[in-house]
């Protein structure tokens, strides 16, 4: 998983952002999950994400695989 920075300024990765729309090293424009330096939190576009993505983000925020 590649680490990216979202336009909101948060650190995220390719599994929880719209990385398909950007090139490696560029900012993504929407993150559904973000790393705050200590744990995973909801990203800037979490509320707009489809239910499958929300379910995945909820799982990683709880520390699931």
Length of the chain: 65
Per-residue pLDDT tens digits for 18-61 = 877 666 667 788 999 999 999 999 999 999 999 999 999 999 99
> What is residue 64's predicted lDDT score, i.e. its pLDDT?
63
Residue 65: count of CB within 10 angstroms of its CB? 4
- Closest listed residue to residue 32, CA positions, set 56, 19, 21, 16: 16
Contact 15, 1 (CB under 8 A): yes
Q: Band of the pLDDT at 65, cuts 50, 70, 90?
A: low
Domain ranges of the chain: 3-61
pTM of the model: 0.83
> What is residue 31's predicted lDDT score, i.e. its pLDDT?
94
With residue 11 as reference, give the H or E element that holds it.
strand 11-13
């Amino acid at each position: 998983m590649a680490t990216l920075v979202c336009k909101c300024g948060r650190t995220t990765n390719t599994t929880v952002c719209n990385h398909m729309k950007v090139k490696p090293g560029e900012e993504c424009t929407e993150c559904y999950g973000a790393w705050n330096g200590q744990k995973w939190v909801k990203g800037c576009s979490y509320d707009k994400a489809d239910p499958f993505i929300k379910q995945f983000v909820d799982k990683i925020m709880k520390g699931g695989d």
